[in-house]
Amino acid sequence: MTLFSQLSRARHEMNRKSEKVLGMKMMTKTMMCMQVWLNFP
C-alpha cells in the first residue's frame, strides 16, 4: 500500500468519525497534504 493510499484511508476514517459527532467533515485533502509536508524535515 502506498503512502498516499494510507493517508487517504486515514483521512476518510477521520471524516467518517467526525461526521457522526460534529455533522461535518474535518479533513480535506489539502489539509491532509499540508500536515504531511509539515512533518518533513
Domain boundaries, the chain: 3-38
**Of 37 and 1, the one with more pLDDT:** 37
pLDDT reported for residue 31: 72
pLDDT of residue 24: 62
Asked whether the CA dihedral 14, 20, 21, 26 is positive or negative, the reply is positive
Q: State the pLDDT at residue 12.
A: 83
What size, in residues, is the chain?
41
- Quick one: cell of 33? 497534504
Q: How far apart are the first and last CA of the chain?
A: 23
Question: What is the pTM assigned to this prediction?
Answer: 0.45
Q: Over the stretch 2-37, which tens digit does the pLDDT of each residue have?
A: 888 888 888 888 877 777 777 666 666 777 777 777
